[in-house]
Structure 1
């Protein structure tokens, strides 16, 4: 009897477990999506949406929308196809009680996948959605805002300002933070130049050749940099092709602006046969002195030539490839103010990069992808006081590598990344600069992990850095003992978003940031003639650290999105060069001394876009940062409150006309020996039209910046005392693609 009871109990348990497993296996979650044409931004109907290995798919309706049921906790691959567009696929693990809303952009077959406007994207989480809406510049938006520099192209993005010393060396500043707190990367690899060290050093990224610019903040920053309080600007070009295709495609274009007779042209072609894909591209740019309402800014010319070539062997398991890129530039630094040369300084820069990259996909439940990258960069920078006299010369040889593993090891319901990176940099100077020849080494271990739980989206990341900075010789100098310095630093960041309703979301970010001083901040001692300063470093500097707190609210519904951020940064040992008010009378240059001071930054950002009726859109962006030393007084070089309002109307066959205003309030909170700046409002306008002619597709745009020729000054400009910003500026862009 007892044996019979045990048999019955065992049978019941087996059946119950089987039923439970069957029930879990058949649980599903609803996925809703909307498909757009990446070029015209119109919805795409009659597209097929299916799951690999599943039953027949669904079709997008006349609004471009679809709904699909996907199994919970199973890795599925969703495929989207349409006769007029390139197919698109993505892999995801749906979660219980976590419905997905996707926004997917199809690439028209008339356009080349690599040279074109937008890459398809989908949102695994609200983090990705917010990042794509507020932190990505691509497609039509990238082309219609194109400028001669990357800073000019991104200038109206929320939270960004421009640090400049003339048009050519302009560089973006995010939330009042500049220098190497803002890292620039190309296809995920660090850009090896000196643009972060001085306002006269230009960024060696030419914007005409890029497909997309990602402004990365939050936990993902730690995949690239230990400075969580700044950000990463990653430009995407795919010099090493990562997608396979057959045939030939090409793109070409030109850009002109009247304020400096700036003209830029370039092109790229790509050939695919079997698993082999090769590409080659070039750009050329030239501009004369900048015209302003106050006159001509002398010695503000620039010229750039860029070239790239690359190839990749692409198969189903992954790819491996190699590329070469070079840029040769020459530009002027204006003169005419205290400490400057009467006629300014001419700067010549050359950089080349050899890169190798491979990626391997794994058919495994734990390991999904392995990516290995290596690049070797050479950078040479010369500053001429006269045609025959070099005042300063810098030379860098940089080796950089990273290994990233995309995994599912820890059981979270989203893939994470574990990585290792290393960098070796040889830094050599010449001319009248007295920074010693030095070598810096860096080794970093990092991770990033997103996951979702019951309507909550989480991301967290960490990074440990080891840095050694070694001068060629140890010696006693006026600034202290020049010697080897080593640093161990760590950073951490965590973000959370919670859905308060179907449209309203709230979130927070907590982060711990770290940064080591640069070679120049430690060891500089002498004149920097192009920057018109006498710079003194501090070999006793410790690493900089900071805590960041951020709250944000996000709303998205049909025809409306809005994002509000408020942040507070507390910085220990904030490293910065400050004007001491003293003059070195051997060179008659103002002395800038580097120190580490406790400081804090507070600010907010708001952006919104609303479509009151079809084809008409209103937008606004507001950015504000306030910076103070803990001991009292304002931080230097903090941008004022900035407001950008815009309206655009789409009509006819995709043509769009737009009108915008850019307003900056007066900046009167300044550091000692820093001058205040008056506020201003300028008006900009533009029109752009996509077109198709047989197998050619393109975009033609025209615009006017500073429509009423207003005289205004940028608070972060080192030459604002002698000349205002550009006057009325007519711009035209033409891009054509062939496939």
Structure 2
């Protein structure tokens, strides 16, 4: 029965492209995209990378992006989403999330509260992104040894780097969808003259509670899944012949609901490593059962009121000193705050005030070696006040020195990186101080075996230092139905990662496949040591763990109008002794049929997610599902030559009820049901 929607999609695509043989438009000869990867440190092309990399840009980014970063990237091989309703969703790479996935804004760290809990939104707006880069694995050491899962770099134009050739340039986009009655829009405009460039951009999105697939026992909508977000930025740059220097101010406001919030746990506490909920009675337990089934209207759904303000300083100077080709500067100051509001009253306030600075110097080739060395510093003052303040105020300071070198020899490119970090965390209430340091190193190589074929290999020894939350958490966390106990004795993690890959980059058949094995010594995780009526007691502990996986994509061009893509991924995450890690993504396999004729582009995609039966203690299995996605877009130019497009996409066209195993609230917030999105965009 699941194959019938796919057959219908193929039939529709055949009808749509049936007249294409007489048309001029056609699919280009298949080739893996070769674009510059800013996060590589040496501005390497994607074909020169020693690790798997995904780059979303142009039309692909327009078609893929959602209201948050996690859902935008979900579906790329090796990348999943934490999925906490519609307001908060963070990328999960190779089964790792939180602080093990480093989020960047044009190379600078994003400071919010999303690493602390999955119900906290990422303050990066996909609607305003010009390019999103994902580097998988821990070898991107120039951005931190703690990024064991990978790095996500969101590029934007908020700080202009050049004067537009015609004096101005920009874009505008509007879209709407059916599942949440979302209405969203974004614009960007850059202008300049002489040596001064100015940039202004903004976005606004408003969505109601979204609908889920058919058959959910709790109704058709996820109560509390609404989202209202707006962002605005103003940037000014001085642009010269040798580089630029600019400032930008960005403000983001968001109001979104927290589905699955369970008030029945209020007052629960611990006795040693056991939970005790003294107010529990049969009546209250009935209320807890009532809440578990999504009927939160009686008490009201908690709402996050978020505000983030950031000032960015960015610059680049070519030929700054003898022997050096480029000097790059990134610095920022962030003032982040969000209230969690219950029944119209602020229950908890989270604040995160941070500043960061990063300087890179790229040197000219020395004995064939080209590289970059740099210094990075950051300070974060975090505090939580109120009912859900399960982490005491902390001050985290981090300094890092790094070096990246590259060497070419015939058909080989070699890469080596080294980074040393020092970190100090001061906990205010307990007046305790934790200091850690770590040294990470990586080696990688790309071998162009024959024209169009590449072998890649990388080895990484990486240290991740404990976070303030892992060290000092102590208290009830209602959003995830957990009681968390930190561990001030935690030591640094040490990962030994091997990544092997094979690529075919040209011709009618192209592919990229990689396999990885990541052995992590002293892996830090929240171990469930007790559970009571659905509430779990998590104690941060350390134990060796192993992550092993496979991910890949194969593209086949049949003729000038048709193309087929097969993609998928699988990861296994185990603690020593065979215990599974919680919320490990299920295996996934997808099939995508592409068509193009004249100004039209279309696709039909089937994604099959396996049932997740490899579960941790106190975790439940998650059924598998298959979803059908389709889309079509029309590209044209105005009379004055400005490109514009209109697009239509249908996600989960078969309206399948599906749950994300990676989510803390998978049963309270299933995935979105049938969703039709229509949008229009113009560049000028």
Deviation at 1:409, TM superposition (A): 5.7
TM-score (ref. length: structure 2): 0.86
Separation in 2, partners of 1:624, 1:488 = 33
Q: Distance in 1 between matches of 2:33 and 2:306?
A: 42
Quickly say closer, same or farther: Cα 1:124–1:528, change in 2 above 3 A: closer
Equivalent position SS for 2:469: helix
Decide whether aligned partners of structure 1 residues 691 and 132 sit closer, same or farther in structure 2, where only a CA change above 3 A counts: farther
2:303 to 332, 335, 346: 346
Match of 2:230 among 305, 313, 316: 305
For the 8 Å contact 1:126–1:497, the answer to whether it is kept is no
Distance 1:138 1:151, change over 3 A: same
Question: SS in structure 2 opposite 1:391?
Answer: strand
Give the corresponding residue for 1:420.
375
Which structure has more RCO (C-alpha within 8 Å, separation ≥ 6)?
2
- Tell me the residue number matched to 1:16: none
Q: Does structure 1 residue 242 correspond to structure 2 residue 170? A: no
Determine whether 1:619 maps to 2:565.
yes
The Cα of 1:613 is off from its aligned counterpart by 0.9
Residue 687 of structure 1 corresponds to: 632
User: Where does residue 449 of structure 1 map in the other structure?
Assistant: 405
Equivalences for 1:377-388 in 2 at 5 Å? 377-388=334-345
1:658 paired residue number: 603
**Is contact 2:26–2:560 with CA below 8 Å preserved after alignment?**
no
| The one of 177, 194, 199 aligned to 2:96 | 177
Q: Does the 8 Å contact 1:533/1:591 carry over to 2? A: yes
Aligned twin of 1:372 = 329
The residue number in structure 2 matching 1:196 is: 115
Supply the distance in 2 between the matched residues of 1:591 and 1:439 (Cα, whole angstroms).
26
Q: Which residue in 2 is equivalent to 1:166?
A: 85
Partner of 2:141: 222
What is the rounded CA distance, in whole Å, between the counterparts of 2:403 and 2:479 in structure 1? 40
Deviation at 1:319, TM superposition (A): 0.8
* Structure 2 residue corresponding to 1:668, chosen from 596, 613, 629: 613
In the TM superposition, what is the alpha-carbon distance from 1:590 to its structure 2 partner? 2.9
Match of 1:403 in 2: 359
Q: What's 2:644 paired with?
A: 698
- 1:736 partnered with 2:682: yes
1:270 to 2:227 alignment: no
Q: Give the equivalent residue in structure 1 for 2:18.
A: none
C-alpha displacement of 1:499: 2.5
CA distance in 2, matches of 1:226, 1:550: 16
C-alpha displacement of 1:501 = 1.7
1:141: which partner in 2? 60
Q: Distance in 2 between matches of 1:401 and 1:229?
A: 22
Specify whether residues 227 and 518 from structure 1 end up closer, same or farther in structure 2 by C-alpha distance, changes over 3 A only.
closer
Q: Which moved more, 1:128-137 or 1:637-646?
A: 128-137
Partner of residue 488, structure 1: 437
Q: Hey, what's the Cα distance between the residues in 1 that align with 2:301 and 2:135?
A: 36
Q: Over alpha carbons, which structure has the higher Rg?
A: 1
**Structure 1, residues 563-611: CA drift from partner, whole Å, max 9, x if none?**
111111101111122333334x9xx943222112211011111111121
Name the CA distance, whole Å, in 1 between partners of 2:32 and 2:128: 29
Structure 2 counterpart of 1:429: 384
Match of 2:513 among 564, 567, 587: 564
- The alpha-carbon deviation at position 167 of structure 1 amounts to 2.0
Deviates more, 1:275-284 or 1:606-615: 606-615
Cα distance, 1:155 vs structure 2: 1.1
Q: Residue 619 of structure 1: CA displacement?
A: 0.6
Match in the other structure for 1:606:
552
Q: Which residue of 2 aligns with 1:539?
A: 488
- CA distance in 1 between counterparts of 2:316 and 2:261 reads 52
Q: Structure 1: how far apart are the matches of 2:316 and 2:423?
A: 28
CA contact (8 A) 2:51 2:499 kept: no
Asked whether 1:151 is paired with 2:70, we answer: yes
| Preserved contact between residue 219 and residue 459 of structure 1 (Cα < 8 Å) | no
Matching residue within 402, 411, 415 for 1:459 = 415
In structure 1, C-alpha distance between the alignment counterparts of 2:348 and 2:237, rounded to whole Å: 39
Q: Residue in 1 aligned with 2:282?
A: none
User: 1:314 corresponds to which residue?
Assistant: 239
* Contact 2:102–2:147 (CA under 8 A) maintained in structure 1: no
Matches within 5 A, 1:110-149: 128-129=47-48, 134-149=53-68
Gaps of 5+ in 1: 1-39, 44-62, 64-100, 107-117, 476-482
Shift, 1:634, TM fit: 0.8
Match of 1:328 among 249, 253, 257: 253
Q: Distance in 2 between matches of 1:545 and 1:712?
A: 36
Give the 3-state SS of the residue equivalent to 1:223 in structure 2: helix
Q: Name the SS of the counterpart of 2:77 in structure 1.
A: coil
Describe the SS at the equivalent of 1:520.
helix
* Larger deviation, residues 302-311 vs 725-734: 725-734
* Secondary structure, aligned partner of 2:72: helix
Residues 32 and 510 in structure 2, CA contact (< 8 A), matched pair in contact too: no
The equivalent residue for 1:356 is 313
Deviations 1:638-669 (A, max 9, x none): 1011112101110023x111100111111100
| 1:514 partnered with 2:463 | yes
Q: Which residue of 1 aligns with 2:522?
A: 573
Cα deviation per residue 1:504-556 (whole Å; 9 max; x = unaligned)? 22221100111111111111111123333221111111111111011111112
Report the equivalent of 1:78: none
Q: CA RMSD in A?
A: 2.6
**Structure 2 equivalent of residue 206 of structure 1:** 125
Worse-matched range after superposition: 123-132 or 208-217: 123-132
Please tell me whether the aligned partners of residues 259 and 668 of structure 2 are also in contact (alpha carbons under 8 angstroms).
Answer: no
Question: 2:562 and 2:649 mapped to 1: Cα distance?
Answer: 18
Is the Cα–Cα contact under 8 Å of residues 382 and 395 in structure 2 kept in the other structure? yes
> 2:71 and 2:82 mapped to 1: Cα distance?
10
Instruction: Output the CA distance in 1 between the equivalents of 2:407 and 2:666.
Output: 48
Aligned pair in 2 of structure 1 residues 324, 357: CA closer, same or farther (>3 Å)? same
**Distance of 1:437 and 1:717 partners within structure 2:** 27
Q: 1:128 to 1:405 in 2, by over 3 A?
A: farther
User: C-alpha distance in 2, partners of 1:582/1:403?
Assistant: 47
- Of the structure 1 ranges 402-411 and 325-334, higher mean CA displacement relative to structure 2 is found in 402-411
How far off its partner does 1:263 sit? 1.3
CA distance in structure 2 between the aligned counterparts of 1:636 and 1:391, rounded to whole angstroms = 29
Distance in 2 (CA, whole Å) between partners of 1:578 and 1:132 is 31
Paired with 2:323 and 2:627, the residues of 1 have a C-alpha distance of: 54
Contact 2:302 2:342 in 1 (8 A): yes
Q: Equivalent residue for 2:175?
A: 255
The 1:126–1:552 alpha-carbon spacing in structure 2 relative to 1, beyond 3 Å, is farther
